[in-house]
Amino acid sequence: MTRRFVQAMASAGVPQSEIAAVLAVTVPTVRKHYRAELRRGAATVETRLVGQLMRIAGGKDGAALKATMFALQCRFGWSRYVPPQR
């Protein structure tokens, strides 16, 4: 039950310090005993955020351009200020 609770909180984006406070333990204890649940929760958050970003990037307005540029910068190291390496 607690493992599912920790994963649900992590997948909702709750910081580890808050999860530790709810469980009345320290952050290192949460990391030690719930590492897999924290990772799955973080992966869930990242998946949702990337999905939203790609949905926005698929549009045809200024927000779509910004979302596309942000995705290129984060995922592929792209920069409009630095020429590509040869």
Digit-coded pLDDT (tens) for 36-47: 999 999 999 888
Cα distance between residue 69 and residue 10, in whole Å: 28
Would you list the domain boundaries of the chain? 2-76
Give pLDDT tens digits for 19-30.
999 999 999 999
Is the pTM of the predicted complex or chain greater than 0.95? no
Tokens 């979302």, located at residue: 67
The closest alpha carbon to 6, from 16, 24, 32, 46, belongs to: 16
